[in-house]
Structure 1
Amino acid sequence: MRSLRRHPLLVPVLLCACAVLAARPATTNDTSDTAGTAAADGDSVLSAKVTRLYEEAAVATRHYEAGRREADEQRAKAESLEALLDRQRAEVAVLREDLGRIARAQYRDGGGMPVTAQIILADSPEELMRGQHVFSRTNLAVNNAVEKNRRAEARLTADEEKAKEAWRDLDRRSTELASLKQDIEAKLEEAREELQGRAEASVAAGACRGAVRLDQPETHFASRWVAPVETYELSASYGSGGDRWARRHTGQDFAVPIGTPVRAVGEGRVVRVSCGGPFGIEIVLQHPNGYYTQYAHLAAVAVDQGERVGTGQWIGQSGSTGNSTGPHLHFEVRVTPESGSALDPEAWLASREVNLG
């Protein structure tokens, strides 16, 4: 057996190798933690992006609707101008006809005869005066008609230009608003698809990706209870039948797009956050009055188990995970945190002055 003393460099080399091997697992864990943190940060950024785009889309929709009303008013104004133009065109046509009629009458009656000739041919002074009176009146009528026609044609020209400008403004405004709305909705749809894709991956893995923190809006609710989403359409109701449920539907569905902020209907504590199974990503809250509420088929959660929440606080984002045929929030009220103890959520909320519909 060879002595280690004959290789003085061997001992330091072995010690370094042992140190590297001992440190390797720790390095792997650090990388995993970093990757997990990066994934969580990515989820938070994506959820925040969806929320921001959701708000921008709502603002764009409000502006679009306001623009549409403005366009309707502009259209009514343009149509009014068109009607005015039609009346003015008819008026000008009548004036031109009047001018022609007056000119023909003057020609027949000698209205253009010189005054000297009228004096010579007049049988009496009275006849001469009558002729002069008729001539003056006819001449005044002609001058008035000519001036009225000139003014009408000037108004017609100006109003025609106003009508054209009104239609141009209408088309330009409508195009701008429609383009803005479509651009935001396209970005929102892309972000929603990515959010739903990550949610489905979590459900498939049976492991939640962790809470994403959303910037909570300032809320001042007059009531202790609110609806679980702000804007919605009611779909499947409590107790309704269907092929998707073993017996009867156990909750109230709210048809909302993916990424819609989901609110706690009242203050309480998060007793369950789970990913997987027929409900997909779900949250269950326990309320001080002994009832529980469930929020299912989510795309993301914004709270952790054990966390306390307030009325109207955003606790997640809607999705279409689990046994779901489309984007919606499945909302239940229970007397226990488990399935099988559900009550009619619409009646339960109505008894707390929250009327759905």
Structure 2
Amino acid sequence: MRSLRRRSMFVVALLCGAALLTARPTAAGGEPGDGAGADSGLSTRVARLYEDAAAATQRYETGRHAAEAKQVEVRRLEELLGRERRETAVLREDLGRIARAQYRTGGGLPVVAQMLLAADPERLMRGQHLFSQAHLALGNAMEKSRRAETRLAADEARAVEAWQEVERRRVELADLKKGIEDKLEQARWALQGQADASVAAGACRGAVRLDQPPTRVTGEWVTPVETYTLSAGFGSGGDRWVNRHTGQDFAVPIGTPVRAVGAGRVVRVACGGAFGIQVVIRQADGYCTQYAHLAAVTVDQGERVTAGQWIGQSGASGNSTGPHLHFEVRVTPELGSSIDPVPWLAERGVPVA
């Protein structure tokens, strides 16, 4: 009896364990997942490097504007130096003229000799007075010239130092910006490598939870990426499409945060095929939007999203010629029901240009 009871308890334990295994969450695409995924650190690193790069670019631009202001100041200083150089040249000329005049009027004789050769006291006094005036004028001119030379040398040194500071700051900021951008580029392609591996396996890594900064969205609709360059448009032809292009492409670097254009529910997260890693959202108004060729996803199937919320990171997974976001608007979640997304967004107050 005791053996039967133990055997029954063992069977119950096995059934509970099987139920727990069955209830484990699955990753996008139906494969067993690990929630955030073991490689979520790379997605987080890319997102943080984007923030660092943006901050470095801001510092670079601030420094560039400061350098431009400094350059204006240096140019004013150089104009002042130009005037000082001209004034100094005039003083030197005046000094030479006074010295030559003194030599001519004094004949090069010392004062004692002029006094001995003077014909009468009045003439002597007049000559001595003129000599004193000339000597004073010469002394004043020499002192003025000396001060001008000293000021000119100091201002020239200040101008050189100012230019050196401008160049030093520019190089520092450029090196800082380039260093972060190089790290970001390496992390981007590492992230894309993970995405390619997921697509090849046909199983996504699961949602990566990123710390999204406070959203600046004020309306009900937004563009799927904040900054972009438009590439292939809806209906365009090409060798990479069976018929016509079914969406609008936004050329953006790998790892760019991709946003839900409006509030809705995630109806599909999948990997594999021509679209690579993709997310499909059913919007509140019934239309469906697709975000394809991603490098990572940050939402799970069935999750509700808001306008502007990050739902993934752009990439070049699937049938892609390079990093970009393929964005579609569909009547149903399925391929083949797409409409032109540009006028669709424009109707919702989101012009795309």
Structure 2 counterpart of 1:190: 186
Moved more, 263-272 or 156-165: 156-165
Q: TM-score, normalised by structure 2?
A: 0.82
Q: Does 1:54 align with 2:50?
A: yes
User: Contact 1:82–1:163 (CA<8 Å) still a contact in 2?
Assistant: yes
Residue number among 278, 282, 296 corresponding to 1:282 in the alignment? 278
> Distance between the aligned counterparts of 1:331 and 1:129, measured in 2?
103
Structure 2 counterpart of 1:342: 338
Q: 1:122–1:250: structure 2 CA closer, same or farther, 3 Å change rule?
A: farther
Amino acid at match of 1:256: V
> Distance between the aligned counterparts of 1:91 and 1:118, measured in 2?
37
Residue number among 154, 158, 163 corresponding to 1:158 in the alignment? 154
Amino acid at match of 2:214: E
Counterpart secondary structure, 1:338: coil
Q: Does 1:103 align with 2:99?
A: yes
Amino acid at match of 1:297: H
Residue number among 307, 327, 332 corresponding to 2:323 in the alignment? 327
> Distance between the aligned counterparts of 2:160 and 2:276, measured in 1?
57
User: Contact 2:222–2:261 (CA<8 Å) still a contact in 1?
Assistant: yes
* 1:213-252 equivalences in 2 (<5 Å): 213-252=209-248
How far is the alpha carbon of 1:124 from its aligned partner? 11
Moved more, 53-62 or 92-101: 92-101
Amino acid at match of 1:50: V
> Distance between the aligned counterparts of 1:122 and 1:335, measured in 2?
122
How far is the alpha carbon of 1:79 from its aligned partner? 3.7
Residue number among 293, 296, 321 corresponding to 1:297 in the alignment? 293
Q: 1:136–1:233: structure 2 CA closer, same or farther, 3 Å change rule?
A: farther
User: Contact 1:274–1:283 (CA<8 Å) still a contact in 2?
Assistant: yes
How far is the alpha carbon of 1:242 from its aligned partner? 2.7
Structure 1 counterpart of 2:171: 175
> Distance between the aligned counterparts of 1:144 and 1:234, measured in 2?
73
Amino acid at match of 1:45: G
RMSD (Å), alpha carbons:
3.0
Amino acid at match of 1:156: L
User: Contact 2:259–2:308 (CA<8 Å) still a contact in 1?
Assistant: yes
Kindly provide the CA deviation profile for residues 119-155 of structure 1, in whole angstroms up to 9, marking residues without a partner as x: 9858997x88986776565445433322221221111
* 1:3-22 equivalences in 2 (<5 Å): none
Give % identity: 65
Q: Greater RCO between the two (CA within 8 Å, min separation 6)?
A: 2
User: Contact 2:266–2:305 (CA<8 Å) still a contact in 1?
Assistant: yes
Counterpart secondary structure, 2:329: strand
How far is the alpha carbon of 1:65 from its aligned partner? 1.7
Q: How many residues align?
A: 328
Structure 1 counterpart of 2:9: none
What runs of 5+ residues in structure 2 fail to find an aligned partner?
1-13, 26-31
Structure 2 counterpart of 1:12: none
Counterpart secondary structure, 2:143: helix
> Distance between the aligned counterparts of 2:335 and 2:161, measured in 1?
64
Q: 1:163–1:220: structure 2 CA closer, same or farther, 3 Å change rule?
A: closer
Counterpart secondary structure, 1:42: coil
> Distance between the aligned counterparts of 1:68 and 1:44, measured in 2?
36
Kindly provide the CA deviation profile for residues 211-266 of structure 1, in whole angstroms up to 9, marking residues without a partner as x: 11111222242211111111222222223333322333222211111111100010
Counterpart secondary structure, 1:283: strand
> Distance between the aligned counterparts of 2:120 and 2:349, measured in 1?
100
Counterpart secondary structure, 2:39: helix
How far is the alpha carbon of 1:97 from its aligned partner? 1.6
